[in-house]
Amino acid sequence: MARILGIGNATLDIINTVECYPVEDDEVRALSQRRCIGGNCANTLTVLQQLGHDCVFAGTLATDTDGDEIALGLQQQGINIDYCHRVSGESPTSYILLSHDTGTRTIVHYRDLPEFSLADFEKIDLSTFDWIHAEGRNVIETTSMLSFIHERFPPLPYSVEIEKLRSGIENLFKGAAVLFFSRHYVTHLGYSNAEGFLQQLHPSLPNIEKICPWGEEGAYGLDQKGKSHHVPAFSPLQVIDTLGAGDTFNAGFIHAHLHHYPFAKSLTFACQLAGRKCGQYGFEGLIS
């Protein structure tokens, strides 16, 4: 069991399950609705906590009632929120259409809340942690947080999730132990496949495990030595809910890495866990 700090976003997800994805300007009735905590970092910690780790979330939480709901929900899962910064404002929300037909999720995310800052981060006692996982957002402040780790706690390993093209995001790459790149990020850079992207990155970033989760194709990765790996997806009997599949994958990989699994076995474990998640609603009871 490791003590893991996650830096990033926690949201309120309002998920409407619909028969199939509607056409524009249509009016449809949802089959069901559920509210739950979301956000890439919060989801990854939710799964890591279930995998037996001691997780701490560091991010901003609004002082509104949704913020209370998010705070309580995280705590009920056993995730510590002592280092969160409560700020006045509106909680981030995602309104999500989950297609019953295909299991795909379409997310409309709204956020207008100050981000977690370096000043907040510096208050954390990093000496108690075994691993840090950061979302690649809030780039300037996150770059400073990662530099702070290098300067003050050089052996402390961390992973970064690079999901979206953001100005200066490459500054988060150097020094990570593990980098997760989304398909969205890679394809928006103009690469049609993950392997080409990973190979060109390797010379400037040796010794870093670089991974591209790739939806129903599974995942691609380069190990520390630059050896290429591909693991196919593990398809559930029925794809029910892909919301948070990537967040689950990241948790699975971090868990396997912390257990010193070989790289290919870590990719396999992450794909198995993410595939299992796609076969069920939400994250509850994912680890049996």
Q: How far is the CB of 4 from ligand FRU (least distance, A)?
A: 17
Asked whether position 233 contacts ligand FRU by CB under 6 A, the answer is no
Nearby residues of 170 by Cβ (< 8 Å), 6 or more positions away:
none
Nearer to ligand ADP, 102 or 128 (CB): 102
Indicate the helix (H) or strand (E) that contains 11: strand 11-18
What pairing do the DSSP bridges indicate for beta strands 158-162 and 131-135? Answer: parallel
What Å distances lie between residue 191 and 168, 184, 196, 199, CA to CA? Answer: 19, 10, 7, 11
Q: How far is the CB of 115 from ligand ADP (least distance, A)?
A: 21
The alpha carbons of the chain give a radius of gyration, in whole angstroms, of 18
Asked whether position 157 contacts ligand FRU by CB under 6 A, the answer is no
Nearest residue by C-beta to ligand FRU?
38
Q: How far is the CB of 23 from ligand FRU (least distance, A)?
A: 23
**Burial of residue 101 (number of CB atoms within 10 Å: 0-12, 13-18, 19+):** exposed
Indicate the helix (H) or strand (E) that contains 93: strand 93-99
Residues numbered 33 to 62 that lie near ligand FRU (CB under 6 A) are: 38-40, 43
Helix residue ranges per DSSP H, 77-138: 118-121
Asked whether position 77 contacts ligand FRU by CB under 6 A, the answer is no
Nearer to ligand ADP, 183 or 210 (CB): 183
Q: Binding string, 6-25, against ligand FRU, x = CB under 6 A?
A: -----x-x------------
Nearest residue by C-beta to ligand ADP?
246
- The count of residues interacting with ligand FRU (CB under 6 A) is 13
Task: Note the residues at the interface with ligand FRU (CB under 6 A).
Answer: 11, 13, 38-40, 43, 94, 107, 109, 243-244, 246-247
